Amino acid sequence: MKDVTPLTEGWTLRHAAGDTVPAPAEAPAGDIPATVPGCVHTDLLAAGLIEDPFLSRNETAVAWVGRTDWRYDTALGPRDTAHERTDLVLDGLDTVAAVRVGGVPVGNTRNMHRSYRFDITDRLDPAAATPLSVEFTSAYTEAEAVRAQVGERPNAYPEPFQYIRKMACSFGWDWGPTLVTAGMWRPVRLEHWSTARLATVRPLVTVDGPTGRAELRVDVERTATGGGVLTVRARVGDHTASADFDGDGTTLTVEVPDPALWWPRGYGEQPLYDTELELLDATGAVLDRWERRIGFRTVTLDTGADAHGTAFTLAVNAEPVFARGVNWIPDDVFPSRIGPDRYRARLTQAADAGVNLVRVWGGGIYESDDFYDVCDELGLLVWQDFLFACAAYPEEQPLRSEIEAEARENVTRLMPHASLVLWNGNNENLWGFRDWDWEPALDGGSWGEGYYLGLLPRVVAETDPTRPYWAGSPWSGGWDHHPNEPAHGTAHSWDVWNRTDYTDYLDTVPRFVAEFGWQAPPAHATLRRALPGEELLPTSPGMLHHQKAHDGNGKLERGLAHHFAVPPAGPAHFDRWHYLTQLNQARAVATGIEHWRSHWPVCAGTVLWQLNDCWPVTSWAAVDGDARPKPLYFTLRRLYADRLLTVQRRDGRPTVVADNQSAIPWDAAVRLRRMAADGRILAETTVTARAGARSVALATVPGELLPDAGSGKEFLVADAGELRALHFPVRDHAFAYPAPRYDVATVRRGDEPDAVDVVVTARTLLRDLLLQADRLAPTAVADQGPLTLLPGESATIRVRGWDGGGDGDGDGATAAVRAALFMVEPA
């Protein structure tokens, strides 16, 4: 059996200065301890040699790190194995590296997204330690050299990320810092083996009527003496098969009668079958083993023409799915710090918010198998971008062969995962070619079209024909339509955030909204940690540094001004600005999702930009860089629930919409009340909206229940069970909100020592009441986001991670809660 020796101990890091690359003044002299997996920044940070780049404006002070060459060193023990062969296996090198064993070069790398294997059998000393060094050239040096070779190409950001196969967002983005990493970011090991090893195993999992099939396509590598017949033996659950072969590979099929089908979240269970394949020699001894979990399901993508344009609807096991999605970026700009627990925590947050689809965005990485394992278990569909984003990518060497090898390796690695349902060619590059003035700048040069419409679909068809491929997002399916035409394929909605107001989401019904979003600052406690000692203002130096979007604060202010009185400048008004910008983000996203969901099945999905952040920053995320949920997160939980009640305009008048994405019909008895701002009920009735399984139902609002179109003193309340929808005929700054009055009580939880129940009782209309729990304690989290209470109504908000300041049900706790409560106030 193959033996594996992890190489995690004894590493050191030093600046790799040479005759032409002098050490920068900031570089440490001599060796420092290094962690593998890891990167230069995290090693320097652990050694106390740089300040945390996530805090204040330290990012700029460590820019030199990314423009410096570095070397990692360790020693390999004496070669003490009876195996014929020893390979050095590096699962991820970031990015341009020269690998030497015993001072002798064994290989060079130039792709962060690939693994590498080098035969070092003859390099290891049988009696003494052998030096191993991995020397990294600055990613800037490589990218600039490739740019000089292939010629300039346009992109959306002033960094050369498209000339190197590296995580693009490490060069900075409109939500991310510029921290250009280097290092061994995935595991390193020695593998000792004899006769033959499993090089690749590709499971093509299909369902044909009552039978599930796992077709295991196996490639092997043999030693020089490893000829002859080999055997592969496979098991899927309790079902087995075996085959003999004498070449470099074979195909073995295991049939599973009546398999339990894997379903996305909300559509069924997620059964997974333990799958094992062993490689045996002629004596029956096991040479190598491959183990994964697979799920039986079918996936199709409907892109047929219809009366509304061109569909884009995913179906799992022949069941069309409304995608309740989020875009995923790397959860840390230093991805070696993301482990299984962090993946599980973040993806569980997504699942708890009702998400059923996660799009892995093309400016990041192909995530660890740990990420996809959790998605398999939670029923989160994965849309996987190939790693191209917001730039014209050269199709010449040395990039083209790297891209093909990268694509083949990652398709093979990820295809066992049942959650993976779509391969997508790129992010915004087909759109960019058409609309971002690339064509004149390119002057006929290559820009990536050959990848998205040629190479990548061929790789998917040859390697993983069980899944659909789409050329890009946005993409209308062909050049016959504009790439970002809402009626065809996938659409990105960014004009609303960049130029207009979120009410303009109501103007179109895209077939599938793959990106849209609205910015807001992170939680207050996150800001306090990230900007220590700074007086918080929207325009304070640290706040501006942690706002990476072009004119981001201007867009925030203009977005507020459409709906609220913008708070004056000055520290006394920061808390109000903070609350209103977070609320405006939640309101914007709600406007879009409620509208688009109400048009199912014409619109078949919304994918919020974005779930998460990679550092503390003002951004579009629902969960901030310190893992704290913003108000948007809790709003998303309502928007992505199986049942959504909303009021939408149909034929020019407000209409009740019951969107039922569950499998159980919903006869929604909706209590309608036309109410005055002072809380009086002006009219009341009940209507019924009968929504079948996975369908939408409408109910007309009787004329006497409709508030006057221009009234700032009336509004409509629609209640169905625990669900509530509101309709205000005017914007907030034109509505006559009463001065808010309410009572607060705090009750310590006997069954949860670190939990306090906060009970708020409204004496007036309280619109979008929000308890910012992190103001009570940095560890505190509330179980609810913004909620609206009518006079006389009460709500209980459970706060975990706070002991009530030692006075969980006293006046001190109540005063602290009042200071952390926010709501819409009169203009």
Distance CA 179, CA 333 (A): 7
Phi, psi at 153, each rounded to 5°: -130, 145
Nearest to 517 by CA among 494, 487, 501, 551: 494
Whether 42 and 35 have beta carbons less than 8 Å apart is answered as: yes
Whether 626 and 546 have beta carbons less than 8 Å apart is answered as: no
Cα radius of gyration (the chain): 29
Whether 455 and 407 have beta carbons less than 8 Å apart is answered as: yes
Whether 776 and 817 have beta carbons less than 8 Å apart is answered as: yes
| Residue 360, beta-bridge partner list | 328, 384
Whether 421 and 467 have beta carbons less than 8 Å apart is answered as: yes
From the centroid of its chain, how far is CA 236? 31
Distance CA 140, CA 184 (A): 17
Convert 494-532 to b/e letters by CB count within 10 Å (16 or more is b): bebbeeebbbebeebbbbbbbbbbbbbbbbbbbbbbbbe
Whether 160 and 152 have beta carbons less than 8 Å apart is answered as: no
From the centroid of its chain, how far is CA 118? 33
Distance CA 693, CA 666 (A): 7
Catalytic site includes residue 428: yes
Looking at 395, 428, 449, 714, which residue is catalytic?
428
Specify the long-range contacts of residues 168-172, CB closer than 8 Å, at least 24 apart: 168/362, 168/363, 168/364, 168/387, 168/389, 168/390, 168/391, 169/329, 169/330, 169/333, 169/363, 169/364, 169/389, 169/614, 170/139, 170/333, 171/139, 172/548
162, 669, 770 from 787: Cα distances, Å: 44, 21, 7
Q: What is the dihedral of CA 769, 775, 781, 787, to 10 degrees?
A: 0
Distance CA 389, CA 426 (A): 6
Give the three-state DSSP class for 314.
Answer: strand
From the centroid of its chain, how far is CA 824? 31
On the CB side of 739, how many CA atoms lie within 13 Å of its CA? 0
Distance CA 38, CA 48 (A): 16
Query: What is the 3-class SS of 342-360, one letter each residue?
Result: HHHHHHHHHHHCCCCEEEE
166, 377, 430, 472 from 272: Cα distances, Å: 33, 8, 37, 30
Nearest to 114 by CA among 35, 180, 167, 172: 167
Known catalytic residues are 428
